[in-house]
Structures are given as C-alpha cells and as structure tokens.
Amino acid sequence: MGDLGGRGARRRPPRHLSDLVKRSVDVVGAALGLALAAVPLAVVAGLVRRDLGRPVLFRQLRPGRDGELFELVKLRTMRDGPGDDAERLTPLGLALRRTSVDELPELWNVLRGDMSLVGPRPLLPEYLALYSPRQARRHEVRPGLTGLAQVSGRNLVGWDERLELDVQYVERRSLGLDLAIIARTLAAVVRRSGVSADDHATMRPFTGSASAHEAAG
C-alpha cells in the first residue's frame, strides 16, 4: 500500500493538490447535502424535540486532525438520566442511528473544516492516550462522516481491526478511494447493516489495543 512518500506524517495544513481537491469536494458536498437535507432535518428535529425535549442537538468535543479538539454536532438520540446507552436510546433514536440521519448535522462540521466527508470517524478524546504509535496515525487527516472502517462492518468490526483500517485509509487515501467509500456507505445505510455491536447500543469502549495489553502483561 502506498504511504504517500511519508509526507502524511508531517503536521501541516493541506498544501498538496490532492488535499486541495479533497477540501473542495468536501465544501461542495457538504453545502449541497445541507441544502438537500434542510427540510427533512427540520422535520426530524421537531420529532426529536417532541420526544426528548431540548436541546435537539448533541454536542461533544472530539479530536480532529493532529488531535486538535473540535465540537461535533449531531441529533440527539438518547434520553438524559441514569442507565446505559441501550436503556437511554429511544425508538426514534434507534431509527435515526440505523439510517444515519442523526449524523447529518455533521455536514456543518465538514463545511467548517473540522471534518471531511471521508476519513476515520472522530472518536473520544480519552482514547488519544490509548493508541499505539501506528493507530495514532489516524489523526494525520481530518476525521470523516464515513470511512474505510465504516464500510467494512461499521460498529461490528473489532477495535484493532477498525483502527488498522483507519490507518490503511491514511496510507492509501485518494479521490477514487473516497468515491468508492461514499458509494459503499450509501449501500450500507440502505441495508441498515453493522450499526451496533452484538450486545451494545453502539460500540464497546476502546480500552487499548490487544497487542499493547499483551506487551504490558
């Protein structure tokens, strides 16, 4: 797999033609997506407010490119209060997650430059200290609405495999790969496949790679 000559490891703003093209595609795609989704989002936001009250949007800090934190926005899918994710996830929230409609507000993050249409999904800040040096390479690019791991099983893929797929995307990234991932994402959403792990509402928490645990033992 190509490693882009090692240039991806340097932390710097996008300067290469491929990065500029990708950013242009992101801006056009996010703007078009927001325009097309405006009315459906307004309807769904009304349903969320009816079922869950305010706020309609869920906001959380996530690490982006180079690990810099940004505020991710998506539609709320859970009730406030005690209980695990499965207990707080509402029927409406489950439907929004199965169709990925809850993630449509992230198009605003793409338009702002926090995210890209395609890239490793933005995870939790507390995971940053748990990555191996190779796994940490996922932060050499902007996080994405969808990515190679998501079209390879979404939340059904184990953590080590998922993070390895993220790094493989960093090493192989190209406009052609992005277009292929977008096409496969649309197909996965239609099939509603791979949204949840077997016994969790979304994905089990990441506690470190298996290889790191073995080394520590």
Task: Dump pLDDT digits (tens) for 135-171.
Answer: 999 999 999 999 999 888 755 678 999 999 999 999 9
Residue 216 falls inside a structural domain: no
Asked whether the beta carbons of 139 and 63 are under 8 A apart, the reply is yes
Residue 3, domain member (yes or no):
no
To 5 degrees, how large is the angle CA 9–CA 103–CA 83? 105
Decide if 113 is inside a domain.
yes
Q: What pLDDT sits at residue 139?
A: 97
The pTM assigned to this predicted structure is: 0.81
What SS3 class is residue 175? helix
Confirm whether 180 is domain-assigned.
yes
Question: Which phi-psi region, left, alpha or beta, contains residue 17 (left: φ > 0; alpha: ψ -120 to 50)?
Answer: alpha
Extract the tokens encoding 117.
């249409």
Helices (H) and strands (E) in the chain, counts: 7, 4
The domain containing residue 126 runs over which residues?
13-199
Q: Answer whether residue 150 is part of any domain.
A: yes
Quote the number of domains for the chain. Answer: 1
Query: Does a structural domain hold residue 6?
Result: no
* pLDDT, mean over the chain: 84
Task: Kindly state whether residue 87 falls inside one of the protein's structural domains.
Answer: yes
Q: Does residue 4 belong to any structural domain of this protein?
A: no
Q: Which of 116, 108, 121, 166 is nearest to 14 (CA)?
A: 116
